[in-house]
Amino acid sequence: MMAELTGVYNFWKDGFSVTDEMKKNFDDNGYIVIRDLFDSKEMANLRKVFEDTDITAKHGLKVGDGTGKKTKIVLWTNPGSDVSGVMARCEKVVNTCEDLLGKGEVYHYHGKLLYKDAFTGGAHLWHQDYGYWYRNTCLFPDMLTVFAAIDRCAKSNGCLQILPGSHKCGRVDHEMTSGQMTANADRVEEIKKVCPLAYVEMEPGDALFFHCNVLHCSSANESPDRRWAYLIAYNTKANNPLVPHHHAQYTPIQKVPDSAVAECTNYNDFTDKRFIEGHESKTSQFDKSET
């Protein structure tokens, strides 16, 4: 059984804000999609950070998916002042997160580049982000992720799959599978019967905002088209983790106007970003990636 993707909205530049309908869709289904949240200039700026630097060569990690393929990732804690950091701190992203969660101030929990290259990109197995973050001692699921498409995300190249409404099931037990934290398979199959699967197909610049308890996965990329995405995780100030770990403790976000994303010319200075090394994580089993 398949579900239609609902809760899809278009971004508008003048006075964009979360509407009552958006908030209701987020509360009911656990997500909203905003088309064209980032325009072509902003996305071109972001691509320079990830494509024209050695960020993947120096900081790339990989984790297995149980089939022999590897998922590849670059992780960092502080947003930084490069284009990706400015994007994570811009008002149209941060204010939207605060309005959707409705829990007051949010802060940057971590950022990451997920890069599924053509034919070789591995799968991300069924999980909830809170399946990881609960183990990082965040007491409440007052957290969300923003998934910004760098490339076109389609069924053919391993777009995200979600179970709308599954956040209402609460946290599902997770266990380590092939280096990834995965939700209990039997429980996932039962949840699928009442929260039918939806494919999140997106164009570059589109963004998915989804609750940390929404069950999601993505298949391997068997296509000739790469699938890169920029993910930004936010936590609420009141939900500061009990124990310091590889992701961030509460640090106020220095918000910037939306115009700063297109205007930023810092593509390669990452001194204030703090990349995460594989051995630091207690919730994933990473190996050093290769270029």
Sort strands 31-35 and 8-10 into parallel, antiparallel or unpaired.
Answer: parallel
- pLDDT, tens digit, 9 for 90 and up, residues 32-82: 999 999 999 999 999 999 999 999 999 999 887 778 788 889 999 999 999
Please state the domain extents for the chain. Answer: 18-288
What does the pLDDT read at residue 284?
54
Q: What is the C-alpha to C-alpha distance for residues 254 and 162, in angstroms, rounded to an integer?
A: 31
Strand partners, 182: 175
- Which are the contacts of 15, defined by CB distance < 8 A and separation ≥ 6? none
With beta carbons less than 8 A apart as the criterion, state whether 262 and 41 touch: yes
> Which band of pLDDT confidence, cut at 50, 70 and 90, is reported for residue 288?
low
* Better pLDDT: 284 or 254: 254
CB 42 within 8 A of CB 261: yes
Q: Angle of helix 91-101 relative to helix 20-29, nearest 10 degrees?
A: 60
Euclidean distance between CA atoms 3 and 155, whole angstroms: 14
Structure tokens given for 97: 């997160």
Beta carbons of 210 and 148 less than 8 angstroms apart: no
HSE (side-chain half, CA atoms, 13 Å) at 148 = 23
Q: Which residues pair with 233 in a beta bridge?
A: 110, 145
pLDDT of 291: 42
Kindly report, residue by residue over 208-229, the tens digit of the pLDDT: 999 999 999 999 999 999 999 9
Give the pLDDT confidence score for residue 139 in this predicted structure. Answer: 97
| Euclidean distance between CA atoms 162 and 195, whole angstroms | 9
Q: Report the C-alpha gap between 271 and 182 in whole angstroms.
A: 33
Average pLDDT over residues 164-173: 97
Residue range 180-204: mean pLDDT, rounded: 95
Each residue's pLDDT tens digit, 16-41: 999 999 999 999 999 999 999 999 99
| Rg from Cα positions in the chain | 17
pLDDT tens digit sequence for 86-127: 999 999 999 999 999 999 999 999 999 999 999 988 888 999
DSSP assignment string, 221-267: --SSS-EEEEEEEEEEGGG--SS--SSPPP-----B-THHHHH---S
Has residue 289 got a pLDDT over 70?
A: no
Mean pLDDT across the chain: 93
Q: Is the pLDDT of residue 1 over 50?
A: yes
**The pLDDT of residue 290 is above 50:** no
Cβ–Cβ < 8 Å for 275, 76: yes
Query: What CATH architecture applies to the domain 18-288?
Result: Sandwich (2.60)
pLDDT of residue 173: 94
